[in-house]
Structure formats: C-alpha cells, structure tokens
Chains A and B, each alone.
Chain A
Amino acid sequence: GAVVSQHPSRVICKSGTSVKIECRSLDFQATTMFWYRQFPKQSLMLMATSNEGSKATYEQGVEKDKFLINHASLTLSTLTVTSAHPEDSSFYICSARDRRSGGFGETQYFGPGTRLLVL
C-alpha cells in the first residue's frame, strides 16, 4: 500500500517552455500533497504544500507564479514549471500524506521523482 506515482520520470525541454508534472496517490486518498526540489547530494527542499480543493501554500523564496500547483482531487496534484530556464533544472519529488487518522498520519509517501533538464 501507500504507492505514489509521478509522471514523467524525466523531461528535457527548451528554455521558455512550460512543463507539467503529475503526482498521483494510487491506493489511498491524500488530502495533502507536498512538492520538493532536490539538488545533487543535497537534502529535500520543500517548495509548497498542496491541499485538495484549496490554494497551495508556498515556502519562502518559492515563486508561486513560476511553480503553479493544482490539487484537483484527493489522488492528483500537478506542478507546472512555467517558462522554464536552465536554473530550474533539478529533481522534483512529490509526496502525499494518507488522510487516514492514526499514528501514521504524519508520514509522507514519496513518488519516484521527475528529473527536469532545461536546455
């Protein structure tokens, strides 16, 4: 159980284009999903918290107009990198929190990540 999928796994695009990344919880409902960015040999950097049916909460320093997040259902959240530039190249990972109550309510289950390369 607690499987999170992410698509695409890898994308290469030209500078100035927009890229959409999908995150799905396959076998549970996720009221909250998270989007992280990770640079090589570094830890996870939280970009935003996404709650189903409401606007995402962005971390300080993350441009909300640059990184558009939509959490349309209990199993799907999308991250769109708008007008991508080479400095946006990174590993983007989503995670989802199982809505069921109980001791595991604070844990997050991660997708496999999306590697974005902007040329």
Chain B
Amino acid sequence: QKEVEQDPGPLSVPEGAIVSLNCTYSNSAFQYFMWYRQYSRKGPELLMYTYSSGNKEDGRFTAQVDKSSKYISLFIRDSQPSDSATYLCAMNAGNNRKLIWGLGTSLAVNP
C-alpha cells in the first residue's frame, strides 16, 4: 500500500462546477498537508498549506484535513478553464522530513 493514494483521473467538469479532489494516507504521523497545481511542462505551484486537521479557505479554494479518517480534500468553487491542470497532494510529518506525494489528479474544466 502506498503511503499516499490519489486517483489520477482524468476528471472533466463543466465551467462553473464545484470540483472535489481527494487524497488518502496511511501514516498517522503526517501533520503538514499541501496541495500543488501543475500545468503541463511547468513546475508545481503551491496552492494551499494546512497544518493538522481543519479547513482553510483562500478565494475559490478550500482545503480540508480529516486526520481521524486520514483523508484530505481540495475544493474548487466556480471552476474556470484556467483551473485545468494536474493537482498534487503532498504531506509529511514535519521536522524537515521529505514530502510524500500523491500521483496527481488531472483536471479538465470545459468552457
């Protein structure tokens, strides 16, 4: 079993839809959770960062962490064609340990 599981998709939605992206993990020591967006042939861009459980909102993006279920989510409201990209989750247990990455979910938002 991988430490971090993420459905690679592809996920295709119409413009304006609410998108839900998810990752599950097995290591209960993970405390730091990140979501990155990666456009084709570009480096990943940090979108959201969350420590421990709870919600965090930034514009159209909301990150949720449920440590009891070992489940994290990224919600995108009012999705736009410019949101079409691969979304990667990453996490670690802190103390400068390396990040453990999901496979990434490919998202296409259709006009």
Picked from B46, B98, B104, B106, the residue with its CB within 8 Å of the CB of A34 is B98
CB-defined contacts of A93 to chain B, threshold 8 Å: 43-44
B41 A43 Cβ-Cβ under 8 A:
no
- Name A112's closest neighbour in chain B (CB-CB): B43
Give the segment of A14-22, A62-70, A75-83, A101-109 that binds chain B: A101-109
Q: Is B66 an interface position by the 8 A CB rule?
A: no
What 1/0 flags go to A12-46 for Cβ under 8 Å of B? 00000000000000000000101000000111101
Residue count of chain B within 8 Å CB distance of chain A: 24
Question: Of residues A2, A6, A103, which shows the largest number of chain B Cβ atoms within 10 Å of its Cβ?
Answer: A103
Query: Is there contact, CB below 8 Å, between A46 and B43?
Result: no
* Interchain Cβ contacts under 8 Å between A and B, 30 examples: A2-B46, A42-B103, A43-B88, A43-B101, A43-B102, A43-B104, A44-B88, A44-B101, A46-B99, A91-B41, A93-B43, A97-B96, A103-B49, A103-B51, A106-B32, A106-B34, A106-B49, A106-B94, A106-B96, A107-B32, A107-B34, A107-B49, A108-B46, A108-B90, A109-B46, A110-B44, A110-B46, A111-B43, A113-B42, A115-B41
